[in-house]
Structure 1
Amino acid sequence: MKRKKTPKSPTKGLSRRRFLQWTGLGLGGAALGNAFVREPTALQIERVDIPLPKAPAGTRVRIVQLSDTHIGPFRPYFRRVAEAANALQPDIILLTGDYIEESRNLPGALEFLQLLQAPAGIFAVQGNWEYWARIEGEPLRRQFKKIDITLLINQREDVQAGGIELSLLGLDYPSRESDFLALQEQADPRRANLLLSHVPAFNHEKLDGRLDLICCGHTHGGQVRLPFLSPLYLPRYTGGFVSGLYRVGPTATPLYVNRGIGTSLLPVRFLCRPEITLFDLVGTARN
């Protein structure tokens, strides 16, 4: 006698589809939760070593760069950022713009900035959001001076730290090419020269070798990154420089793009964590 075949369950395929659907929804929800909740405050420290042939071997200066805070009301996250930056024990802190999005947010930004500590000084340039908020220039310089931060508006400031003579050159936003060329002319080729620019895109072909490092922000690293794809959005004046270390111009000048601390337009980050950059500038000259 032949055995009867057991009929297939009519719900077997449906259950599998439901499983895949729920798995997809779960993964999508986890990704959204990561992008909107965890990653915007998942602070990351990037360490970059820059050799300085102009400085004697054995000398070293530690510099922290912060950028693009986009502070509204002051939140505990920003206190954590300040504590993390100070814990790196920098000699100098560099700030590369976009502290606020509206003028009414300035008190929150100042509350954050006055927590920062660096014995050789804190130096800043302004970004496009200060310009759009109409608080750029001398009004912002006066506010920063009250909390011992030097705002550089197309000007040079000399400091000494770690046995190294440095010049900090602040390129304002917005700037013409003539502003950059005039600022570069102020650079003493015998000193270590660092340029602060909010945006990474300017005429790098005009670099003449006097600058030893260019520190920029503005891009947020793309803020939302998908694997194997270019950033979904980049603001104007990025020039294809998204994040990290590049070599630009005729003399391959190091240019570093910081991913920023805050977010803009939407409070979201994906595969693009907020960043504190720690530069170790190390002298390599031998007598």
Structure 2
Amino acid sequence: MAEKITRRSFIKKTTVGTLGTIATAYGGYYYAHDVEPFWLKTISNNIKSHRIPTEFNDFKIVQFTDTHIGFQYRNKDLKKLINAIQNQQPDLIVFTGDLTDDPSLVSNDKFEEIVHELSRLEAPYGKYWIYGNHDHGGYGTNTILDVMNQSGFSLLMNETEQITVDEQHINLSGLDDILLGNPSLEGLVSHDEASFNILLCHEPDYADEVVDYPFDLQLSGHSHGGQVQIPFYGYVVTPTLGQKYVEGKHTLGNRPLQLFTSRGVGTTRLPFRFLCRPEINVFTLISESI
């Protein structure tokens, strides 16, 4: 015999169901807003190539990108990030753009704190950076340049730096931002096609242009890995030139070009991350000549 549903039991079940729905929604909001955006992880990849000199075997490069300080990411979170990078004991550190979300909204005191934290990063073969679109935005071009200079970072703006170990070298190049800068690939490594050539480029989808040049590795950010990933739907936040190669490794062309798109550290547009934890990226070079 079916149980008779009284008005009292109906109200009780409805109330429990409603409260359960509210709790689930609040729990999801809390996780996506207050937990996952600050749950940093480290992604490690070995980069193998016959062009990597044996002197660079086990050479470690740490990439961080898209901190977007001032939107949701705070200076106290930056301190934890710096500690995580230093714990990797990198040989070389690269930052691939978008230090703040809007440079015009960051106070001088906050910038001083940022300089203090970034200055703690140490790597025997240097610290390099490139502009992202948010660095040029908000009239921030010169402000961000000054902050990074004070922090001991060297700008690669359509330039190539030769990294040398025991008289052998690899090339590290950097492009100005594709969307708001004046990028130029011409002449960066055309004179040194036999070497292992790395490119820092904020927007990952520009790899479709880069593949025509003699680069072996492209490190990018910009896309935030979609920032929010919905099962059976996909990526929610996909900015221009960050829609094709949204995250992870992609192999292009015949050389080949290995593209790695980092999910980055901070958030933009929406103060949430879901199924898309922030990350730093560690690349260990492996010489196939050994």
Normalising TM by the smaller chain, what interval? 0.7 to 0.9
Question: Is 2:52–2:285's contact at 8 Å kept on the other side of the alignment?
Answer: no
Question: Is 2:229–2:276's contact at 8 Å kept on the other side of the alignment?
Answer: yes
Query: What is the aligned partner in structure 1 of residue 133 from structure 2?
Result: 128
Q: Equivalent of 1:276, from 272, 275, 280? A: 280
1:137-286 to 2 correspondence within 5 Å? 140-161=144-165, 165-174=169-178, 179-185=184-190, 188-202=192-206, 204=208, 207-208=211-212, 210-286=214-290
Separation of aligned partners in 2, 1:89 and 1:129: 29
Question: Is 1:205–1:249's contact at 8 Å kept on the other side of the alignment?
Answer: no
CA deviations over 1:174-200 (Å, ceiling 9, x no partner): 3789812433425x2232211000101
Shift of the 247–104 alpha-carbon distance from structure 1 to 2, 3 Å rule, reads same
Separation of aligned partners in 2, 1:68 and 1:47: 18
**Deviation of 1:143 (Å):** 4.0
Instruction: Give the superposed CA RMSD.
Output: 2.6
Shift of the 108–38 alpha-carbon distance from structure 1 to 2, 3 Å rule, reads same
TM-score normalized by the length of structure 1:
0.87
Separation of aligned partners in 2, 1:7 and 1:247: 62
Query: What is the aligned partner in structure 2 of residue 41 from structure 1?
Result: 38
Question: Is 1:204–1:249's contact at 8 Å kept on the other side of the alignment?
Answer: no
Separation of aligned partners in 2, 1:46 and 1:276: 6
Shift of the 184–191 alpha-carbon distance from structure 1 to 2, 3 Å rule, reads closer
Question: Is 1:209–1:251's contact at 8 Å kept on the other side of the alignment?
Answer: no
Separation of aligned partners in 1, 2:159 and 2:197: 12
The gaps in structure 1 that reach 5 residues or longer are none
Separation of aligned partners in 1, 2:242 and 2:208: 12
Larger C-alpha radius of gyration, 1 or 2? 1
Separation of aligned partners in 1, 2:87 and 2:207: 36
Query: What is the aligned partner in structure 2 of residue 90 from structure 1?
Result: 90
Letter in 1 for 2:44: R
Q: Equivalent of 1:60, from 44, 47, 58? A: 58
Letter in 2 for 1:110: V
TM-score normalized by the length of structure 2:
0.86
Separation of aligned partners in 2, 1:31 and 1:269: 11
Separation of aligned partners in 1, 2:65 and 2:14: 46
The gaps in structure 2 that reach 5 residues or longer are none
Letter in 2 for 1:183: L
Runs of 4+ with deviation above 4 angstroms? 161-164, 175-178
Letter in 1 for 2:12: S
Aligned residues: 280
Question: Is 1:56–1:283's contact at 8 Å kept on the other side of the alignment?
Answer: yes
Shift of the 252–14 alpha-carbon distance from structure 1 to 2, 3 Å rule, reads farther
Query: Could you say what secondary structure the match of 1:265 adopts?
Result: coil
Shift of the 162–27 alpha-carbon distance from structure 1 to 2, 3 Å rule, reads farther
Letter in 1 for 2:36: E
- The percentage of aligned residue pairs carrying the same residue is 29
CA deviations over 1:41-78 (Å, ceiling 9, x no partner): 11011111110211345822111100001113852211
Letter in 2 for 1:35: A
